[in-house]
Amino acid sequence: MRSIVTGGAGFIGSHLVDYLVSSGDDVIIIDSLVSGNINSIRNHLDSDKVRLVSADLLEDNWQEELAGADRVYHLAADPDVRESSVSPDRQLNNTIIATHRVLEAMRKAGVLEIVFTSTSTVYGEASVIPTPEIYTPMEPISIYGASKLACESLISAYCHSFSMRSWIFRFANIIGDRSGHGVITDFIRKLKDNPDELEILGDGKQTKSYLEVRECIRAIMYVINHSNDIVNTYNIGSEDWVSVSEIADILCHEMGLSPDYRYTGGYRGWVGDVPKMQLDISKLKLLGFVPGLNSRESVKIAVRATLE
């Protein structure tokens, strides 16, 4: 296949590129390299199977790359949930407007398939946990979650209006090698600055589901190859959860440290933080995919990869 990957130099995007290349796809990466890291894809750039187009989706001169493509994997977005409450305009532009521009470019180029990475935060503070795909009402509490939900709606509308097909994936916390943000990266940075004390945002009881990135990619590709609705929406995560304090314990054990924990207080870590999150993956399992890792195993793998 000829695949387009927006955000292909990013954390999840670069792992997706690894998978697509290993499967024999010709891949065009469209990435502004603002949050993406060229080192994550450098091993592919000398290959005739991968080409990098350094471009901002909010500007032009990338749309022609979609000509002749079979599928667009749209991963480009602003991944910082916390920052979205500080700079909502940036989140809206880099997520909603960028997604609309991708869909328009697809429509004009005749590309009929899109894969979109959404988020568990579209559910807001769900009253049903584990939370299924059919949960309502969808009331995001962060600009990030609201932006992703708006993109889901746009994609659905384009699919039904222009005979496209989509796969929308609502992720739990995806972690692992090459991640540049999140609780593990934050803790490691703090402990390198001061190994005797670790600041933990909130009360440390925030409890969520985590999944290692390569297991996430396996789930994505399995769903794409085994589902065929006009709009295919699936949760991807593990079947358990761990607290922020437990993640701190795992990390400190791996680093051989015994710092004092200092909690900032409150049941949220920041504005827009969902304190309890676990996705219902029954639909994914019914399709035939069962994650091979749980949250604790995923955290341990991610910690070791980040410390290397």
Strand, coil or helix: what is 130? Answer: coil
Residue 208 has which token pair? 């969520």
Taking the C-alpha atoms of residue 296 and residue 258, their distance in angstroms, rounded to an integer, is: 19
Q: Identify whether 261 is a catalytic site residue.
A: no
Contact 244, 300 (CB under 8 A): no
End-to-end distance of the chain based on CA atoms, in angstroms?
34
Give the number of other Cβ atoms within 10 Å of residue 85's Cβ.
Answer: 17
Taking the C-alpha atoms of residue 16 and residue 5, their distance in angstroms, rounded to an integer, is: 8
DSSP readout, 33-77?
Answer: SSSS-GGGTGGGTTSTTEEEEE--TTSSS-GGGGTT-SEEEE--S
Cβ neighbourhood burial of 170 (10 Å; 0-12, 13-18, 19+):
buried
Contact 260, 196 (CB under 8 A): yes
Taking the C-alpha atoms of residue 28 and residue 238, their distance in angstroms, rounded to an integer, is: 30
Bridge partners (DSSP) of residue 167 are 115, 232
From the candidates 144, 158, 210, 234, which is the catalytic residue?
Answer: 144
Which residues are the active-site residues? 144
